[in-house]
Amino acid sequence: MAKSFEKKIELLKEYFKKKPEILMAFLFGSRAQKRERKISDWDIAIYLKENDFKTENKIWSDLVDLLEKEVDLVSLNEAPPLLASKILREGIPLKIEDKNFFLDFLLKITEEADYFLEFSHDYYQIYQRAKSLSETEKARLERIFIFIENALQEFEKFQKMSFEDYVQKIEKRRNVERWIESLMNSILDVSKIILASKKRPLPDTYKKIVLEASHQLQLNEDLRERLSDWVALRNIIAHEYLEILWERIKDFVDNAKPYLEKFLEKAKEFKNGKGISSFFINSSIMRN
């Protein structure tokens, strides 16, 4: 059994070595902890240079063929912070393309895991005292609204920024990154108050939190998807390659303003109790 396991590990390492699109790969779960049974799946986590469903699906298919067992493939690009942190700390490395990248990601995801624990605690506190939106939470929302309104005025300034500015001028890079991170944290905080005050279960990722809050605000599908995608920028800023990150930042700077303005408009209506029905969130969103 041990020799068979070691042989499979070597096969996996050889496979990932030939895949430049994969920056990191780890084995985790029961097999990594030597608690596997004959029917155990192989739990493997990967971090892709460019997160893409088709690429991920092809890798999953390759791994099933290689291992001749079922494979549970997790994308570290999108995994919940607590899970990603556990995988990096306890998993067996199968590939680490760049050690500095790994250490930066480990630091960031550990911070995110700690933040999510605090976030969850605050969510629970709001949930416990909520019969409807309390005056305390209304006041919190008003403070966040003021910050968002001020941050929205910065779009024009950052739209003038070039890739050369972003790469060569560290202060400008930090300014746009902090601005996006703070703005999307504010959207996340609004989403937290909306869902907790309506006593909805806490989703396990920030993307799902914003997606479900946007659903509660009756925003259209395009707006929900775009906002929930952009909230990921608050997580990737510290550990992405500049070329890839610039493309995402440029997309946000060029396109996000009207989406954020609509979210803000609907969130204000929610705070004022206008036009928001108390329907249940589609259970499929919770599962995805």
pLDDT single digits (tens) 153-191: 999 999 999 999 998 998 999 999 999 999 999 999 999
Helices of type H across the chain: 2-17, 53-67, 81-90, 99-129, 135-152, 155-159, 163-168, 170-197, 206-216, 221-230, 233-236, 242-271, 283-287
CATH number of 1-101: 3.30.460.10
The residue with greater pLDDT, 276 or 203, is 203
* Other C-beta atoms lying within 10 Å of the C-beta of residue 25: 27
**pLDDT grade for 236, boundaries at 50, 70 and 90:** low
- Each domain of the chain, given as residue ranges in start order, spans 1-101, 132-272
Q: What is the overall mean pLDDT for the chain? A: 88
Task: Tell me the chain's radius of gyration from C-alpha atoms.
Answer: 21
Mean pLDDT to the nearest integer, 120-133: 84
Mean pLDDT to the nearest integer, 145-153: 97
Question: For position 285, what pLDDT does the model report?
Answer: 38
Question: For position 134, what pLDDT does the model report?
Answer: 81
**Unique residue bearing structure tokens 């976030």:** 119
**pLDDT grade for 263, boundaries at 50, 70 and 90:** very high
Could you read off the pLDDT of 72-110 as tens digits, one per residue?
999 998 898 899 999 999 999 999 999 999 998 998 899
Distance of CA 201 to the CA centre of its chain: 18
Question: For position 108, what pLDDT does the model report?
Answer: 87
Please give the model's pTM, rounded to 2 decimal places: 0.71
Question: For position 251, what pLDDT does the model report?
Answer: 95
Orientation angle between helical segments 135-152 and 170-197, nearest 10 degrees:
150
CATH topology of domain 132-272: Four Helix Bundle (Hemerythrin (Met), subunit A) (1.20.120)
* 197-to-79, 132, 191, 202, 283 alpha-carbon distances in Å: 26, 6, 10, 11, 18
Question: For position 127, what pLDDT does the model report?
Answer: 87
CB contact at 8 A, 19 and 27 = no
* Predicted confidence (pLDDT) at residue 276 exceeds the cutoff of 50: no
Of the chain, the percentage scoring pLDDT greater than 70 comes to: 90
Mean pLDDT to the nearest integer, 19-48: 88
Q: What's the burial of 177, exposed, middle or buried (CB within 10 Å: 0-12/13-18/19+)? A: middle
The residue with greater pLDDT, 205 or 146, is 146
Question: For position 284, what pLDDT does the model report?
Answer: 35
Terminal CA-CA length for the chain: 35
